[in-house]
Structure formats: C-alpha cells, structure tokens
Structure 1
Amino acid sequence: MRRQYHMVTLSENIYFIYPESVGHYISEPDHIVNRKPKQMISYNIHVVESGYGFVELDGIEHVLGPGDAVFYYPQQEQNYYSSKDQPWNIRWIHFYGDKLKDYLLSNNIKPGQLWTLKQTELWIKLHDELMLEAETNLMLNPTQLSARTYALVVNFIEQAIPLTERKQGGTNKKILDLLPEMQSSATEPFELEYWSSKVEVSPHYFCKLFKQTMSITPMEFITRCRLQIAKQWLLERGDCSIGQIANEAGYPSVSYFNKRFMEYEKITPTTYRELYAMTIE
C-alpha cells in the first residue's frame, strides 16, 4: 500500500520549512529508489516503522530495521530498497527551506549518516498528522503544513542518534520508561543509587546511559523538572514566599534555587513572578 501527497513548490517561500511531499509505504517488497548525485533539491527523511530494508552509502550496504532512519541532504546520491522477505513499513517526508542547512548542521544532523530514533511513537503521530493535513486540505492551510513539518523535523533531531551508537539489550528503553517516575518524584531528594538500581546497573553506568539516551545528565533532568514545577507555583501560589516555593521544589537553600533559576531563565524568581503573575487568569 502506498499513500503519498505532493505539494506545489513555493517560489516565494516565507516559511522556514515547507513540505514538498510526504508518504507512507506498507508491505511494498519491490520498493527501490536510485537517485544520482545532484538529482534531488530537497531534504528528505525516511523512518522504518517495521520490517527491514537496505541503504547504500559510499558503496557499503547497511540494514535498517524498526526505528532506524536515513536523512538525505539535497543533491546527495540516494540508494535504498525494501527487504523482499520482510518488507519495510516506511514513512518519509521531503522538505525544503533556505536556512535549513545551518540549522541542521548546528544540531549535528550531518549528511552521509544513518540514524536510529530513541522513541518513534511521537514521530509517527506527527507524521500521521501531517499526512492528514495534506490529504484533507491539500494546500489550503500552508501555515499548518509548515508547522507540522517543523514539528516532525525537530522531533527527529531530538530523538535521533547515529546508528553506530544504537543501544543494545533494551537499556535505552528502560531509561525512557523511568522518566515519568523521575519527573513525578523530582521535588524529592535525588538519590542516584535508587534510580540506578531501578535499571539494574551501577550509578556510574546509569549516568552514562542516561546521558547517551537523553543528552543530559540525570541531575540536569531533575533540575529542569524542578524549575518547571517552581515556575508554575510562582504564578499559581502568590501567597507563598520564594523560600517556600524553593523548599517545596527541592531546594532547601533559597540562594541556590535563585542561582539555578537565573541560569535557565536569565531573571530571578521574584522578577519572573512580577512579570507574569498578572497575566495568569
């Protein structure tokens, strides 16, 4: 089954990013693409949802399975095809934008690399939403097409790691599964040994795995969770002092809370409350 939608290319493009085409192929064992260098002028992403296929890069054949992806830059040679025994269920998008190259390179999305996604659920959901928009409204809502394409690409950047760094043994998933509990417990004292035991690894290895999976340390994740909670409380609980908010958010030292808040928000908690409290209805 092949579903695909093609949009007219905008000659006067006001959008940072815009889709050229989007599609979803399921159980197509004869799906094969060979494009010569300089033939394509758009960027494109292909993500394998299930099944298997092959990508050739620099004369070397690579196997792509569930969660794996290839990201092509304009004018790159492109050679990829589905497995005949276990045809891939593959989702793809072609897109363009004058300033995309600098944006992608600054986020370490380089040409000539294969990727795997740490999580695919949201990317698939966003892809479905873009497909539905293209199918339902065609080009009637270009802002929606641009916004949904942007969300899809940003999620890819957030979730993609080089295929050579693919995690084994399901440990990556264990870290991801732990995040909701870590978030809900963020205001409590952080005990590294407790969280590492949940994944059945040493504290040192837990920190390494967490950094590989999330691109931040466990403590950095906890800090972000605490500050997000604190920001909400600063606006919703106007009768509470900064010290009380800090303590309940996990910072017994109000001076340290102020320091961390300043690092992220560039203003003090007091100033933040003064600026935004009146806008909350």
Structure 2
Amino acid sequence: MDELIFPILTETDVRLPLYLTSVGHWDHQERMARPEGFPDYQWLQVQSGEGELTVGGRRYVVRAGQAMCLFPHEAHSYGPLSKRWELTWAAFGGNLSGELLAQAGIAQSGVYSTTDRELLLSHLRSLLGCAMSGRPFSGIESSKLLYQFLLDLMKSVYVSSPSAEQNYSRLRPVLDYIERNAHRPIAIGELAAEAGVSPQHLCALFRQTIKMRPIEYVNRQRVNRSKELMIRDPGLKMQDIAALVGFESPSYFGSVFKKMEGVSPEQFRRMHRTH
C-alpha cells in the first residue's frame, strides 16, 4: 500500500541535530525528475524490482537490496525499469546528517548496496509508524529512530571497501584473542596470525573499522581493566596494577593512561574514591 507522511515539525524539532521531514512507501515508484534537486537528504531502499538513477552526470541501475542516497539540492532523476519497483524511503535534515553518512562511507549521492536490507527496512518502517502515530513529541521520537538508522548504515553499507560488518567479522577472532591475552605482552604478529592476514593488512583493517591501531586498542583494553582494579581494590599499588593489566613498566602505564584519560592513574583513583 502506498503511504506518504509529512510529520509536523515544531521549532524545537528543526533545531535537533537530526529530524525527519518525510517518510513513505511506494508499491511502484513512478518516474521522478528534480532538476533543482530536493531540499533534504533522502534514503530510498529498494525492496523489489529494478530502476535507474541519474545524478552527478552518471546513470545507475538500482536493484532490490540496494538503495539510493541523495544529497540536498543536487539535480537528479529516477524511475522504474521493471513493471513494479517497490521503495521505502525517508527524507531528513539536521547538521548531523552529513557527518553520520560520511562515517558510513557515504560522501556523495549515488547507489549503495546493503548487507542487511531487512534491518534497514525495519528502521524505515519504525520511522513511518512513528510519523503516522500523531503522538506528542513524535518529532523527538523520530529523531531518535533516525539516529539509530544512520548508525546502522555504518554496519550495513558496501562502499569502495568491505562493509564495517564484514571487517568486524574478520577482526572478531583478533578482538577475542586480545580479550584473553591483554594481561601479557602481545606481538603484532600474533594478532595478524589470528586473522590470517599480514601485520600491515591487520593495521589497515583496524584503522578502517575501529579507527585506531591494534596496539592502541590493546592499550585501551588494559587501561579500562586498570580502572576497574583501582575502584574494586583501592589497596592495590599502581605498579601492581600496571603489571596485572599487561604494561611492561609503571611509567609506561602512567603515560598511556594520562594520554587516554587526561588525568594520571592516581588522579583517577582519587576522583572515584568512595571514602
């Protein structure tokens, strides 16, 4: 069934970092041409059939499992190539929109393949239901749902490289290995062997997926464990804590801790002292 909802936006809603401007579902999307573009960001998820998109001087074929992402005020046109072209879509604005899309690897208008179409459709249906409800504060609720949707794009979109979800799957054995062995020195070669890749490739996977180098991730694990020990056992000396969580020396522990937390281990302990 065709559905189209334009939610009522209050002054408070449009000041949110994300807000929904329209949402809907077409059993069959008709041809659409916008030489002056559209004022908001759009995500159009294809459920069935095949269509085409022209944007930025390029023509794309769009199939089920793919989506069109359109940036504001950019000329575009799209239309069906099959008898039925079913779409569910949302349009949105707010100063966080472009930043969250960029974090998912979406830097321009175009066609994007998705690894979990049902997850994204579930989010879009929730946005549609919220917009249709007419409940008080539905604008705020839609903003929360929109944020969840855009975060899940980071896991579910193919760009020029594998999706974050694929990279996390490849890194999972490494992350588990770190969890089990962070209390002792760990060589980069050990971690690479767990993933079955070279050390250089492992570093690239970490930077691409977790936005830090492997040793940074290991040290973050160690620092978090040290904080737990400081609070749980106030009598432990810092040098003992450093050794228990895998740091080679108390001085290195102190410098890493301060760089990550902005305070020394002793200052952190004082801030969390209960008596």
In the superposition, the TM-score normalised over structure 1's length comes to: 0.71
Give the paired residue count: 271
Who is 1:248 aligned against?
244
Q: Which residue of 181, 186, 196 corresponds with 2:176?
A: 181
Superposition pairs of residues 58-69 of structure 1, within 5 angstroms: 58-63=56-61, 69=67
User: Residues 7-54 of structure 1, C-alpha deviation per residue, up to 9 Å, x if partnerless?
Assistant: 1133453322211234567xx5x3355241434221223456888764
Tell me the percent identity.
21
Gaps of 5+ in 1: none
User: Which of residues 106, 109, 112 in structure 2 aligns to 1:112?
Assistant: 109
Aligned partner of 1:166: which letter? Answer: S
Counterpart for residue 7 of structure 1: 7
SS of aligned partner of 1:223: helix
Residue pair 1:175, 1:210 contacting (<8 A) in 2 also: no
Where in structure 2 are there 5+ consecutive unaligned residues?
A: none
Query: How many angstroms apart in 1 are the aligned matches of 2:117 and 2:253?
Result: 35
Equivalent runs, 1:16-165 vs 2, <5 Å: 16-23=17-24, 28=27, 30-32=28-30, 34-47=32-45, 54-63=52-61, 69-80=67-78, 84=82, 92-97=89-94, 99-100=95-96, 103=99, 110-112=107-109, 114-115=111-112, 127=124, 130-131=127-128, 133-134=130-131, 138-156=135-153, 158-159=154-155, 163=159, 165=160
- Report the TM-score when normalising by structure 2: 0.72
- 3-state SS of 1:216 partner: coil
SS of aligned partner of 2:20? strand
Residue pair 2:100, 2:150 contacting (<8 A) in 1 also: no
Instruction: Using the TM superposition, name which of 262-271 and 124-133 deviates more.
Output: 124-133
Cα distance in 1 for residues equivalent to 2:169 and 2:210? 12
Higher Cα Rg, which structure: 2
Q: Are the equivalent residues in 2 in contact too, given 1:126–1:152 (CA < 8 A)?
A: yes
**What's the offset of the Cα at 1:110?**
3.2
The letter of the residue matching 1:19 is L
2:242 counterpart SS class: helix
Do the aligned residues in 2 keep the contact of 1:22 with 1:92 (CA within 8 Å)?
yes
Alignment of 1:205-216 (within 5 A): 205-216=201-212
Q: State the shift of 1:96 in Å.
A: 1.5
Residue 275 (str. 1) matches residue 274 (str. 2): no
Alignment-derived partner of residue 235 in structure 1: 231
Counterpart position of 2:256: 260
